[in-house]
């Protein structure tokens, strides 16, 4: 049985890799046509290098959206191919059930889901930021105004304009507050600023004024030509905030460890709680789709003989699942239902439905 397991697992992996290469290739082809102006102007070699790096940054984030449906599609292609060649019938005649045949597919899927989940919490957030930073730098984007909070150094940073291509800032204010009364303790203003090589902020034409807890001035204003200032912020923070209020567009840059703090900061915004629970529930999507899809793929003789129908079933199951998830998450984001219910109702129902279907599957 080990040889059969390896044969099925290998066929499953090959089809998954090929399907992903095709889908990603099509995505890149269409995306390049829309972004051709972004790379235009550079020398051919430099433009090619930029495009290569840009889309390498895109691969991991793209995986989050394509892996679950493509795993489902690959499983369908494997089983329809085996049925068409009479391999499933041979295995059944040897007393090997369809559930046992599907075991290596589930094993590979669980491994892929674990690796994908780990990447989502480690590699993907950084690559997502790098991609958007590179996009902003190539386009020479100047954005602002920005308000950022440096929690580690305990101050708020205001930047009127930030040039992503050069990293230069204009009209900067650092605001230090008394912890209890929320009155300015110190205000630092600078005409210009940029990133120093050490990761610190380097300001030009600086003025510093301190205040007492009642808002009165303490001493004279200090004027300096230049000043280095420590910070825990980075260019990535400007990339994140550039998306404005669109939580959906910024979601790939968050990790589960960051979520509780963001929920606390946005206690009245249910979107963050919905996103937190959805991020956990998403880890189970590949398993859920297989539990539902495999019984459907093996359900009728006609389906077993037709690759096209098998592929359509895989697409249909995936589409229905994602439509239901979209509806529930949309309702949850409005606060109409509990965020936990919004994130987990469809996965839980899908998992239970899949278990029942898999148990009753014709073997």
Query: What are the boundaries of each domain within the chain?
Result: 2-122+269-359, 141-244
Per-residue model confidence (pLDDT) at position 109: 93
Cα atoms in the 13 Å half-sphere on the side-chain side of 261: 7
Cα(50)–Cα(41) distance, rounded to whole angstroms?
Answer: 12
- As a whole number, mean pLDDT of residues 288-292 equals 89
For residue 145, whether the previous peptide bond is cis, meaning omega lies within 30 degrees of 0, is yes
**How far is the CA of 135 from the CAs of 51, 52, 62, in angstroms?**
10, 13, 16
107/146 Cα distance (integer angstroms): 47
pLDDT tens per residue, range 77-126? 888 788 778 888 788 888 888 888 889 999 999 999 998 888 888 888 88
Give the pLDDT confidence score for residue 251 in this predicted structure.
65
Cβ atoms of 174 and 192 closer than 8 Å: no
Percent of the chain at pLDDT > 70 equals 87
Strand partners, 209: 187
Distance of CA 175 to the CA centre of its chain: 32
- Looking at residue 310, its pLDDT comes to 60
> Is the CB of residue 79 less than 8 Å from the CB of residue 160?
no
Tell me how far apart the alpha carbons of residues 288 and 278 are, in angstroms, rounded to a whole number: 14
Res 215: pLDDT: 80
Q: Which pair of tokens denotes residue 119?
A: 């990447």
> Mean pLDDT score of the chain, rounded to an integer?
82
pLDDT of amino acid 301: 47
Token couple for 309: 């129908």
Band (326; pLDDT cuts 50, 70, 90): very high
Of the listed ranges 65-74, 112-121, 154-163, 253-262, the least confidently predicted one is 253-262
Lowest mean pLDDT among 49-53, 128-132, 198-202, 311-315: 311-315
Which of 57-71, 224-238, 335-349 has the weakest average pLDDT?
57-71
Is 235:143 a contact under the CB 8 Å cutoff? no
- The three-class DSSP label of residue 257 is coil
Specify the pTM: 0.74
Please give the Cα distance from 5 to 104 (Å, whole number): 6
pLDDT at position 125 is 82
Q: Which residue has the higher pLDDT, 12 or 246?
A: 12
Cα dihedral 41, 43, 47, 50 sign: negative
pLDDT at 119 (0 to 100): 85
CB of 211 closer than 8 Å to CB of 219? no
**Does residue 173 contact residue 158 with C-beta atoms inside 8 Å?**
yes
- The pLDDT of residue 203: 93
- The whole-number pLDDT of residue 248 equals 59
Give the residue among 216, 172, 155, 167 at the shortest CA–CA distance from 196. 167
Contact 253, 240 (CB under 8 A): yes
Q: Per-residue confidence at 249, pLDDT binned at 50, 70, 90?
A: low
At 90, list the tokens.
């041979």
């Amino acid at each position: 049985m080990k040889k059969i397991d390896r044969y099925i697992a290998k066929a499953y992996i090959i089809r998954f890799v090929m399907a992903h290469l095709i889908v990603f290739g099509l995505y890149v082809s269409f995306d390049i046509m829309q972004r051709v102006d972004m790379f235009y102007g550079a020398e051919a070699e430099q433009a090619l290098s930029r495009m290569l790096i840009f889309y390498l940054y895109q691969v991991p984030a793209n995986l989050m959206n394509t892996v679950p449906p493509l795993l489902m599609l690959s499983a369908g292609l494997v089983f329809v191919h085996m049925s068409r060649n009479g391999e499933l019938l041979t295995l059944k005649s040897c007393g090997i059930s369809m559930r046992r045949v599907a075991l290596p597919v589930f094993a590979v899927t669980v491994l892929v889901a674990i690796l994908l989940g780990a990447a989502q919490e480690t590699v993907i957030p950084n690559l997502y930021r790098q991609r958007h930073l590179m996009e902003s730098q190539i386009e020479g984007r100047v954005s602002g105004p920005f308000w950022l909070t440096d929690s580690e150094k305990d101050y708020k940073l205001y930047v009127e304009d930030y040039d992503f291509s050069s990293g230069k800032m204009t009209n900067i204010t650092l605001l230090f507050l008394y912890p209890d009364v929320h009155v300015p303790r110190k205000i630092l203003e600078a005409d210009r600023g940029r990133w120093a090589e050490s990761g610190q902020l380097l300001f030009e034409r600086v003025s510093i004024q301190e205040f007492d807890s009642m808002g009165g001035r303490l001493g004279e204003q200090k004027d300096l030509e230049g000043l280095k200032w420590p910070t825990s912020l980075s260019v990535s923070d400007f990339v994140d905030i550039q998306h404005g209020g669109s939580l959906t567009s910024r979601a790939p840059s968050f990790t589960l460890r960051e979520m509780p703090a963001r929920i606390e900061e946005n206690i009245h915004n249910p979107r963050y709680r919905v996103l937190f629970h959805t991020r956990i529930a998403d880890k189970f999507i590949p398993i859920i789709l297989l539990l539902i899809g495999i019984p459907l793929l093996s359900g009728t003789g006609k389906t077993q003989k037709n690759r096209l129908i098998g592929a359509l079933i895989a697409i249909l199951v995936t589409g229905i699942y994602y439509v239901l998830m979209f509806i529930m998450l949309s309702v949850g984001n409005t606060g109409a239902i509990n965020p936990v219910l919004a994130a987990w109702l469809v996965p839980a129902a899908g998992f239970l439905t899949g278990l029942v279907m898999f148990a009753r599957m014709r073997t």
